Amino acid sequence: MKIVVLAGGTSTERDVSIVSGTDVCKALRSKGHQAILVDVFFGKEGADPETAFCEEYDLEADVKYIKSFNDQVKEAVASGRDFFGPAVLDLCRAADVVFLALHGANGEDGKVQAAFDLYQIPYTGTGYLSSAMAMDKGITKKLFSVSGVPTPHGVELWKGKCTRSLTDYGMEFPVVVKTCCGGSSIGVYIAHNQEEYEAALDGAFSYENQIIVEEYIEGREFSVGVVDGKAYPVIEIAPLEGFYDYKNKYAAGAAVETCPAEITEEQTKRMQKYAEDGCRVLGIEGYARLDFLMKENGEMYCLEANTLPGMTPTSLLPQEAAVLGMDYPALCEELIRISLKKHQS
């Protein structure tokens, strides 16, 4: 198949996206596909859709080309230029499918998906509406709460339109403060007192005008992939220090990841059911990964759904697939297969 692996972009997760895209592209080419790596925002100047998908392909050169724009993102966005870079849409139209290795805003939030629907370009992952709802933690929390998927109690706050007193919202310390639409735990803070809370609000509002403040749940951290409506094995993430923030997600050896998680069979099935229910509530098709916390007493809480989870060979979803006997290249192909079903119906 001719495949565009779309990565990069303009979000705070640009670097992570490039890593995911590089590994996906390498894996798909190892399976004989004519996959190419393309930056959704900076594109590929002078690329010809007729010749771009070739047997001889220098992936390292394209990775270097994409990374060369990293310091230009803010300036380019501020210029108001078109979001889709040079040749991006032409290359995507010429492909059999686009593998979305994008993370965060303008990639995981449904905007690219909506554009591709209009252009009738098939892509991996769920559609624009479910992507947008899952990206918004406030909407996700509301839908989970009314649908029986347990989630921490919390409130949405808007910059310049909220007080800085937790008692005004019926809450008490400690609390978690996080951006409403961020990813990779960027802009997430744990506040134990008013001073930390003030700093957390300032930090979160520096990323977005809408944030979430929710009760702090002390417990073990887990994640569950859901592929084609079926939950994968549960994986436990145990950071050596602190919580599963950006540093612990991507620094080698910063967390111990155990799959299958060492929990009871009943807890496993319950968490998997909540993950499947969460996807159904949000209308997620294809695949996603849902994150959980579980207290010592077994109470569990679903934090969020990631519609385009990290896709390096050591990312959480690939680790879960490996337990099922599916290696990383086979998983990449499987995600394409199940995603194409909705475009072919």
What does the pLDDT average to over 238-245?
A: 65
pLDDT at 14: 95
pTM (whole model) above 0.85? yes
Instruction: Determine how many CB atoms are found less than 10 A away from the CB of residue 345.
Output: 5
Helices and strands (DSSP H and E) totals, the chain: 12, 12
Q: Dihedral of CA 272/187/258/330: which sign?
A: positive
For residues 246 and 224, what is the distance between their CA atoms, to the nearest angstrom?
A: 19
For residues 167 and 173, what is the distance between their CA atoms, to the nearest angstrom?
A: 10
- Given a contact cutoff of 8 angstroms between Cβ atoms, the answer to whether 245 and 223 are in contact is no
- Tens digits of residue pLDDT in 314-326: 999 999 999 999 9
Say what percent of the chain tops pLDDT 70: 95
pLDDT at 240: 79
Largest Cα–Cα separation, the chain = 63
Locate all alpha helices (DSSP H) within the chain, ordered by sequence. 14-30, 59-67, 73-78, 88-94, 111-119, 128-135, 137-147, 194-205, 246-250, 265-282, 316-323, 328-344
Average pLDDT, the chain: 93
pLDDT at 248: 41
Q: How confident is the model at residue 335 (pLDDT cuts 50, 70, 90)?
A: very high
Closest CA to 143 of 29, 278, 46: 278
pLDDT over 50 (residue 245): no
Say what percent of the chain tops pLDDT 90: 87
Query: Cα separations (Å) of 58 from 27, 34, 61, 64?
Result: 14, 12, 5, 10
pLDDT over 70 (residue 221): yes
For residues 184 and 196, what is the distance between their CA atoms, to the nearest angstrom?
A: 21
- What does DSSP assign to residue 109? S
pLDDT over 50 (residue 244): no
Q: Is 185 left (phi over 0), alpha (psi -120 to 50) or beta?
A: left
DSSP state string for 193-217 = SHHHHHHHHHHHHTT-SEEEEEE--
pLDDT at 30: 97
Closest CA to 42 of 92, 11, 83: 83
Q: How confident is the model at residue 143 (pLDDT cuts 50, 70, 90)?
A: very high
pLDDT at 239: 82
130-144, 175-189, 247-261, 272-286: the lowest-pLDDT one: 247-261
pLDDT at 246: 45
Q: How confident is the model at residue 342 (pLDDT cuts 50, 70, 90)?
A: confident
pLDDT over 60 (residue 198): yes
Rg (CA), the chain: 20
Q: How confident is the model at residue 255 (pLDDT cuts 50, 70, 90)?
A: confident
